[in-house]
Copies of this chain bind each other. A is one copy, B any other.
Amino acid sequence: MTSPTVSGLGEAGILQVLHRRFRTVPAAQDWPEGSLGPGDDAAVVPAPDGRFVISTDAMAQDRDFRLVWPSGAVDSGYSTGWKAAAQNLSDINAMGARASSLLLALTMPGHTPVRWLDRFAAGIAGAVHHLGADTCRIAGGDLGGDDRITVCVTVTGDLDGRPAVRRTIPRDHQGGTGPLDLALCGKAGWAAAGLSVLQTPRTDLDRALDRTGIHRLAARAAAAQLRPRPILTAGPTAAEHGALAMLDVSDGLARDAARLAAANGLDVELDEDWVEQAAAGLAPLASALGEDAADWVRTGGEDYGLLAVFSGGAPLPPGFTRVGRLVAPGGTSQSLNPARARIGWDHFGG
């Protein structure tokens, strides 16, 4: 017996599957008068302070996500849905905002199993729920056919009257003396470790894990790659605690910290003690796979931690750890030169 596919459902049936899953997150129906959820040509989303934050991200099958991994891991669809939602929610968080709506444009082959679609939708709803995006409503989307699956999620957010926290430090804070603290809320290196686990061929992986007995650590790392957990309270909290600039770590700490520094004409010094400490928890896994845990921490992307700049020596908001400093260019011996490290991800290798 073959499993049912989306081509058997037609668009109306596909929408039913999506709506059933999305019912577990707050419905757009309880938005204020004048707003409008899915089902029309477009949604109408509240923007109480007269502005909204907006971000969009596309994920392509076998590029940004896989249905089956060399390790033998199979994604039911849940992780793909989760990650698509999480990375966009992270972008909104990184502006200091909270999510207000999510839109989904999904293209997929007719032979896509209905079960995949159901788990995918459950993953989106799961991320919204479990990451605590309580004010995020599913506002609509678009369906199309294609030879492979492509997921494009757009998320909007509210700043609640605060200014957006940008990559660049506001002018009235610039020119101050002394270094600035670079702080991180969230993990670093775990998603990269998970990628290593997932990409290791099954027999090699089984051998490595059986030898070392670290199955649970490997599973945690794989989960970090498949279902990243940006801390969505961190953005608004950091904004309220005077964060001067922010960026979410999607392409690796070294690369994203260097970006944040460069946007302000500064250099970055990562705290190597912190790197070693962060790497310690991953060291057994790195050793089992013949990799370098500190390298994962410095250059691994997709953890969606929140990187924020604070005035030097200021108390950090809860959940943040000091991971380095931004200093005047011309650097010191400690500064990490991103051109020399293996730095994060460029989709086009430039």
Contact = CB atoms under 8 A, between A and B. Distances in A.
Interface of A: 6-14, 34-36, 39-60, 62-64, 90-92, 94-95, 97, 101, 103-107, 110, 139-148, 150, 152, 154, 156-157, 159, 163-164, 166-167, 246-248, 346-350
Nearest to A150: B150
Contacts of A36: 164, 166
29 contacts: A6-B348, A7-B349, A8-B350, A34-B51, A36-B164, A36-B166, A40-B167, A41-B91, A41-B95, A41-B248, A42-B54, A44-B95, A46-B51, A48-B50, A50-B50, A52-B156, A55-B103, A55-B140, A56-B152, A58-B152, A59-B144, A60-B147, A63-B145, A103-B154, A110-B348, A144-B347, A145-B348, A146-B150, A152-B152
Which one of A46, A92, A95, A348 has the highest number of Cβ atoms from chain B below 10 Å of its Cβ? A348
A55 B39 contact: no
B11 A346 contact: yes
A267 to B, nearest CB: 19
A44 B34 CA distance: 21
A42 B95 CA distance: 7
A121 to B, nearest CB: 15
A95 B41 CA distance: 7
A350 B157 contact: no
Contact of A9 (B49, B50, B350): B350
A240 B6 CA distance: 41
Chain B CB count within 10 A is highest, among A41, A105, A157, A346, for A41
Nearest to A92: B42
Contacts of A167: 39-41
Contact of A41 (B55, B140, B142): B55
Given A55-B103, A56-B142, A60-B147, 18 more contacts: A7-B348, A8-B350, A11-B348, A11-B350, A14-B348, A34-B51, A36-B164, A39-B167, A42-B92, A42-B95, A43-B55, A47-B52, A52-B52, A55-B140, A56-B103, A60-B144, A63-B107, A143-B347
A11 B343 CA distance: 14
Contacts of A52: 44-45, 47, 52, 156
A59 B54 CA distance: 20
Contact of A105 (B46, B58, B140, B349): B58
Nearest to A47: B47
Contacts of A107: 58, 60, 63, 150
Nearest to A164: B44
Residue of A54, A90, A103 with most partner-chain B CB within 10 A: A54
A40 B164 contact: yes
B154 A54 contact: yes
B54 A140 contact: yes
